[in-house]
Structure 1
Amino acid sequence: SLSLVTERYEVVGSADPVLAVAGEAVILPCSVKPNISVVDMRVEWFRSDLKDTLVHLYDDHVDKNTDQNQSYRGRTKLNHQELQKGDASLKLSSVRVSDEGRYKLSSC
């Protein structure tokens, strides 16, 4: 007989708003609890207040940002080593006023 065990995990973001200064970099914190590796998962960051605009996509062990919203091009980064620890926080560089909004992470 075959028994399948599916790991249950929860995606946890910041409880408080993340504050940023225009022109500087900011980390949008997000991690998986328990701290399981998300290296083999699809990790998508969206702007939920802009009709789920794609901010960053990581899939098949690489960043795939061909469909990324143009305004984020070259400004987003996931730390691939931290993904092994369940940390999918996104670094956003050169913050702009237009970056203000609601972000969400989807991981599967």
Structure 2
Amino acid sequence: MKMLLVMVLLLHVSQHALAGVVEVNEGAELVFLPCVFRGIPAEDNLRVMWTRSDLNPRFVHQRGEEGDLEEQNQRYRGRTSMKPDALDSSDFSLTLRKPHLSDSSNYTCSFTDGVEELRVTDVELKVKGGGEGD
């Protein structure tokens, strides 16, 4: 019984550890980076973060209980969004408008209460050149 519980737990964790690869053509209208997690803690000041470790600041998008937060890397300003009810629906997927070749990277979806950070998923975004006709 304990072995089954460990296997189920590992399967659950591995499903959330890597969402995979998302491919899109440069110039597409938008692309979705998936992040769904049902086990979020009921903490005060809980914040969802989409980040890229190769950027400074690393924040691609942030959402708190009061809505989207201002701190964000300049290259993403006005191009990212999340569902308004993300914290209630458990769907923290990121919408990125007009992807550029330079958006190709690894993105991390995580939660923080300001003290600890819970990494939910990693998504590799591959933006392919060639534009809209491919």
Which category describes the TM-score, using the shorter chain as reference length?
A: 0.7 to 0.9
- Provide, for residues 4-27 of structure 1, a one-character-per-residue CA deviation record: whole Å limited to 9, x for no partner: xxxxx9993653211111112100
Cα distance in 2 for partners of 1:105, 1:96 equals 20
Q: Aligned in 2, Cα 1:82/1:68: closer, same or farther, shift over 3 Å?
A: closer
Q: Aligned in 2, Cα 1:13/1:90: closer, same or farther, shift over 3 Å?
A: farther
Structure 1 unmatched runs, 5+: 1-8
Structure with more helix by fraction: 2
Q: How does 1:1-108 map to 2 (within 5 A)?
A: 12=16, 15-24=19-28, 25-34=30-39, 41-50=46-55, 53-65=58-70, 67-108=71-112
- The residue type equivalent to 1:89 in the other structure is S
Does structure 2 retain, via aligned residues, the 8 Å contact 1:37–1:85? no
- Residue 19 of structure 1: SS of its match in structure 2? strand
Q: Which structure: larger Rg?
A: 2
Q: Aligned in 2, Cα 1:58/1:101: closer, same or farther, shift over 3 Å?
A: same
Q: Aligned in 2, Cα 1:35/1:41: closer, same or farther, shift over 3 Å?
A: closer
The aligned length equals 98
Cα distance in 2 for partners of 1:72, 1:94 equals 10
- Residue 12 of structure 1: SS of its match in structure 2? helix
- Provide, for residues 41-88 of structure 1, a one-character-per-residue CA deviation record: whole Å limited to 9, x for no partner: 3111101233671100112321012x2111101000001234322010
Identity of aligned residues (%): 35
Structure with more strand by fraction: 2
- Residue 106 of structure 1: SS of its match in structure 2? strand
